[in-house]
Structure 1
Amino acid sequence: MLDIHRSAYEGQDQLVAAALAEDPSRINTLDADGRTPLHNACSSGTNPVIPKQRHGKQNAMFQAVGVKKLGRNPFPILLQIGRLLIRYGADVNARDRANQLPLHRAASSGATPFILLLVNSQNTENGTGTEDRETPRPKPRLNLVDNAGHTPLHLAFESGHAEAACALIEAGADRSRLDSEGKRPDELAAVLGDQVHLRVKQYVESRCGKIE
């Protein structure tokens, strides 16, 4: 039997399609970590292409926070897998053992295109013939906390992904939501260090404004 979870994580779109064609009910099956294939696809990230040096210090800031000024490689195959999974009825609000949604995984890996795909998943057409087309898709839960008390926005800041943070904020994520230690998303120290945290915060504020 095809390993749909591994295929989704590795970007093997043909194998994912074959697994679902073989057995559509596998769409929301769980792996050893309690993750669905959609969780695994979102965990792959997008590995942004580093832009050439331009505009001096400003461009250095963009590089540090994961923003590609001249465009970003969105890994079309991974996004194709994401769309396929959603069309087959993948649960965008499925929780793994860490109580994380696919949106948490996308935020942690800086997969901004996946974040946009998930927050707009209600607009994805069904394409399998197995679902009721009149049944509305559930909205992704932007502010659900994981076992550590973190929302997807907390994880985007913590991982140093400015573009991902902005995508979540523009979709309606609560910038004032406190984690289990009483910290807002923009107050979490970035795992890449204080300088990255400062640059992420500056970029987000320049694009989304400051918290009032």
Structure 2
Amino acid sequence: MDETYKTKYALHEAIREGQTSKALALLSTNPNLSTLSDPDSRLPIHWAVSFDRAAVIETLVQQRNFDADAVDGSNWTPLMMACSRPEPSLQTIHLLLSKSADPNCQTTGGQTAMHFAASKAHLDVARALLAAKGSARIRDKRGQLPVHRAAAVGSVPMIKLLLGEGKSPVNAADSDGWTPLHHAVSEGHGDAALVLLLAGAEFEKEDKEGKRALELAPDAKTRRFIVQAAEREGIDLE
């Protein structure tokens, strides 16, 4: 990284390096730095959220020209970045939502913040997004809803949340014809598969290759677990 870059994007650099005092001093001296995009089209708020620099985030959202839905080169908003962190800050997420961040913005791949929350099984984040009118019915470019993501990672609580009160359809198929049940079974998540079946998942539904979900079980043990668990609930899969 050359000196010209470091000088021009001193605020971005200070945020990435965790130099909070320096970042706040730069903003105090020149508030317009908050609207400066780097070569990746990222604003200081994108980096601050990515690295969870709470003090810097608090200052940036108070700037006169703050845009809660500003996007980087891949159409990621600060809210999306906050929701996709391994350990998301609910404080930051609530702060961004209070500044009118749109939970239904989509990346170039069509994902919303809800997709990221579902993929990481961030239940409290998903609840916050739903409370802010975030939709569980937006599809990404692969035709997947957040519930497809939740099923793929086997998050039973997330699946229940997304299906609750009709928020998300249980039998929606993605671009490969896979329903949430296909995803859960293929990844070996028997408990998640059972929850989907109890919610009305159509186990006879075929994907674009003519395969039912149960045919995608990774091994005989997983298949047997799902069949027996469903049978105890009065669902005959065979």
Match of 1:7 among 61, 77, 82: 82
1:113 aligned partner, one-letter code: P
CA contact (8 A) 1:29 1:36 kept: yes
Match of 1:90 among 134, 138, 146: 134
1:209 aligns with 2:235: yes
Offset of 1:105 from its aligned partner? 0.4
Taking the aligned partners of 1:37 and 1:113, their CA distance within structure 2 comes to 18
1:156 aligned partner, one-letter code: A
Unaligned runs of 5+ in 2: 1-44, 50-77
Taking the aligned partners of 2:202 and 2:130, their CA distance within structure 1 comes to 25
1:110–1:149 Cα change, 3 Å: same
1:208–1:94 Cα change, 3 Å: farther
Offset of 1:97 from its aligned partner? 1.1
2:157 aligned partner, one-letter code: P
Match of 2:161 among 108, 117, 128: 117
SS at match of 2:160: helix
SS at match of 2:103: helix
CA contact (8 A) 1:103 1:152 kept: yes
CA contact (8 A) 2:230 2:237 kept: no
CA contact (8 A) 1:108 1:152 kept: yes
Match of 1:28 among 79, 104, 116: 104
1:165 aligns with 2:193: yes
Mapping of residues 191-210 of structure 1, within 5 Å: 193-207=219-233, 209-210=235-236
TM-score, scaled to structure 1:
0.69
SS at match of 1:28: coil
Identity between Structure 1 and Structure 2 (%): 33
Partner of 2:206: 178
- Higher relative contact order, chain-length normalized (CA < 8 Å, sep 6+): 1
Taking the aligned partners of 1:31 and 1:197, their CA distance within structure 2 comes to 36
Partner of 1:108: 152
Offset of 1:163 from its aligned partner? 1.1
Taking the aligned partners of 1:208 and 1:44, their CA distance within structure 2 comes to 32
1:91 aligned partner, one-letter code: S
Taking the aligned partners of 2:144 and 2:205, their CA distance within structure 1 comes to 16
1:183 aligned partner, one-letter code: K
- Please identify runs of 4+ aligned residues in structure 1 that moved more than 6 A: none
Partner of 1:56: none
Unaligned runs of 5+ in 1: 46-77, 123-137
- Rg bigger for which structure? 2
Partner of 1:146: 174
RMSD over aligned Cα atoms: 1.9
Considering fraction of residues, name the structure with more helix. Answer: 2
CA contact (8 A) 2:144 2:173 kept: yes
Q: Relative to structure 2, which stretch is displaced further, 177-186 or 200-209?
A: 200-209
1:19 aligned partner, one-letter code: L
Offset of 1:188 from its aligned partner? 1.2
Match of 2:124 among 71, 80, 97: 80
1:44 aligned partner, one-letter code: K
Taking the aligned partners of 1:84 and 1:29, their CA distance within structure 2 comes to 15
Taking the aligned partners of 1:180 and 1:38, their CA distance within structure 2 comes to 26
Deviations 1:180-200 (A, max 9, x none): 11111111132xx44434444
SS at match of 1:5: helix
